[in-house]
Amino acid sequence: MLGVGEKFPEFNVKATSSAKLADINIDNVFIDVNNNSYSGKWLVVFFYPKDFTFVCPTEIAAFGDLVEEFADRDTQVLGGSTDSEFVHWAWRKHQEELKDLPFPLLADVKRELTEALGIIDKDAGVAQRATFIVDPDGIIRHVSVNDLNVGRNPKETLRVLDALQTDELCPCNWSKGEQTIDLHEAAA
């Protein structure tokens, strides 16, 4: 698996649009997303095992609930799995909490991105429940992976993003607005 300090792989995939359900039509339901689509922004790219499952929509909806807070930090959220854009679209239409999802869902059907990241689950053959925070230069600054059965905490992802964006030393359980560690004071 790619880790902290490594370059996020180049990619070009289809995705379901983040347009509101009422505004979606044949011309905007599917979009192309690549590593240059959100140039100059931080990225939170999270993968989940499968559409039409039980844990996955809880996480996707929770990221959706925080999307404005991520946007306030100049960060684009992208979700994704190895399901097709058509399956993503069908799921969005029928899963109540995903109908107005405010970010694209990547369709890595060829598994090129998930394989480049090293997050294909060996037993299940699907994307692992992995989260990557990528800086504006395309460098991975944070990676976490949960067991397929355990949902992640998007608020923790936001907290880690806040800490990374300070570019300072942040102690355990640090939250935005709290004091960071001053090396000069710590050495004294």
Among candidate residues 56, 101, 130, 158, the one labeled active-site is: 56
| SS3 label, residue 133 | strand
107 and 31 in contact (C-beta within 8 Å)? Answer: no
| SS3 label, residue 77 | strand
Tokens of 52: 């039409």
Tokens of 6: 């490594």
**What string of DSSP letters covers 143-174?**
EEEE-TTS---HHHHHHHHHHHHHTSB--TT-
Nearest Cα to Cα of residue 154 among 65, 92, 49 = 65
Q: Does the annotation mark 56 as catalytic?
A: yes
Rounded Cα distance between 141 and 31, Å, is 26
Nearest Cα to Cα of residue 140 among 4, 37, 13, 46 = 4
Rounded Cα distance between 163 and 73, Å, is 11
- Please list the active-site residues: 56
